[in-house]
């Protein structure tokens, strides 16, 4: 991989967009490498993912404008689909994904963070969808996910006005869960990921699916989705171990991921 690195620390996988000279901007190559990296995650052992950017200035500053500037209508649509396919893969990835946002998260970078389950950021983080100032719309899900996360009015204000916001406001409007000093960001991300990873992995996956699938349907259908995923847990060794440990007043020995 030229622009994406992947490392595993225990039960946590860490994906880093590694193009710091371009502020980790997304081009076709980065998207392809990110896609392949996701395909290579060993889901039997890795229980949570962290996505971050290389360096101390930028998570992902956006899509690569030098690549986009000469695209035709059809090519623009194809480029949007390429980004959307990768980000949708992140959004529906079986295990939780945490965005550790270490600086600029603009355009495609903001959209990348929006596709993750949980967002935390450093104090120097800047978020925004500046596309209308370039004559385009957000193309990697920004018009859809931002409104779902921060509300329609705030999303429209940010997108229509190409308005960037700092970490404090991102926290205030619910775009990020927490804000940390830059030097503490990855420590906090790993701590959060480990807190997820120590729990029953099938149950965690089922929770993710129940939340995400349930939000797309009405409440009656959503409850039905939850019931099925709840019932599914009772055929796992994890459920037997978890409940036995509780009744026996001991700590769980291990969750088996089966």
Q: Which CATH number fits domain 4-197: 1.20.1300.10, 3.90.226.10, 3.40.980.10, 3.90.1170.50?
A: 3.90.226.10
Phi/psi at 158 (nearest 5 deg)? -65, -45
What residues does each domain of the chain span? 4-197, 201-247
Assess whether pLDDT exceeds 90 at residue 257.
no
Residues annotated as catalytic are 111, 131
Q: At what angle do helices 142-150 and 152-160 cross, to 10 degrees?
A: 140
| Bridge-based pairing state of the strands 12-17 and 58-60 | unpaired
Distance CA 236, CA 234 (A): 5
Q: What percent of the chain has pLDDT over 70?
A: 100
Assess whether pLDDT exceeds 80 at residue 258.
no
pLDDT tens-digit profile of 229-245? 999 999 999 999 999 99
Q: Which CATH class is domain 201-247?
A: mainly alpha
């Amino acid at each position: 991989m030229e622009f994406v690195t992947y490392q595993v620390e225990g039960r946590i996988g860490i994906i880093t967009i590694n193009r710091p000279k371009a502020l980790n901007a997304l081009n076709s190559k980065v998207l392809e490498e990110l896609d392949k990296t996701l395909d290579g995650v060993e889901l039997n052992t890795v229980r949570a993912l962290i996505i971050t950017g290389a360096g101390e200035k930028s998570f992902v500053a956006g899509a690569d404008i030098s690549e986009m500037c000469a695209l035709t209508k059809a090519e623009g649509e194809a480029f949007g689909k390429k980004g959307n396919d990768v980000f949708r893969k992140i959004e529906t990835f079986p295990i939780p994904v945490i965005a550790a946002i270490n600086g600029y998260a603009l355009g495609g970078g903001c959209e990348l963070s929006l596709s993750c389950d949980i967002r935390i950021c450093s104090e120097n983080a800047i978020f925004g969808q500046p596309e209308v100032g370039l004559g385009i719309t957000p193309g990697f899900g920004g018009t859809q996910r931002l409104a779902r996360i921060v509300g329609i009015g705030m999303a429209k204000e940010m997108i229509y006005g190409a308005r960037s916001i700092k970490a404090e406001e991102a926290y205030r409007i619910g775009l990020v869960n927490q804000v940390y000093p830059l030097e503490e960001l990855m420590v906090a991300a790993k701590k959060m990921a480990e807190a997820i990873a120590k729990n029953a992995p099938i149950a965690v996956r089922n929770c993710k699916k129940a939340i995400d699938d349930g939000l797309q349907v009405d409440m009656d259908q959503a409850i039905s989705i939850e019931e099925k995923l709840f019932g599914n847990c009772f055929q796992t060794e994890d459920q037997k171990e978890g409940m036995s440990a509780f009744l026996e007043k001991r700590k769980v020995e291990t969750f088996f991921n089966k």
